[in-house]
Amino acid sequence: MGKVSSEIRTIKRQLMLEEWEKQVVDCRSSGLPVKEWCRQNGVNDKTYYYRLRQVREKCLEARVKKVEKTSEQENIQAVVPLPMKSTCGEIQIEKNGLYISLPSDIAADTLLALVEKLC
Which domain, by its residues, includes 63? 2-76
pLDDT at 105 (0 to 100): 76
Whether residue 72 is found in the same domain as residue 105:
no
Domain count, the chain: 2
Q: Are residues 31 and 70 in the same domain?
A: yes
SS3 (DSSP) at 93: strand
Query: Cα-flanking dihedrals φ and ψ of residue 31, to 5°?
Result: 80, -5
What per-residue confidence (pLDDT) applies to 41? 95
Q: What is the pLDDT along the chain (119 residues), one digit of tens a residue?
A: 577 788 888 889 889 989 999 999 999 999 999 999 999 999 999 999 999 999 888 888 878 777 776 666 666 555 555 555 544 567 777 777 777 777 777 777 777 777 777 76
Q: Do 63 and 39 belong together in one domain?
A: yes
Residue 98: partners with Cβ closer than 8 Å, 6 or more residues away: 118
**pLDDT for 64:** 79
Task: Return the pLDDT at 86.
Answer: 45
Looking at the structure, tell me whether residues 65 and 97 fall in a common domain.
no
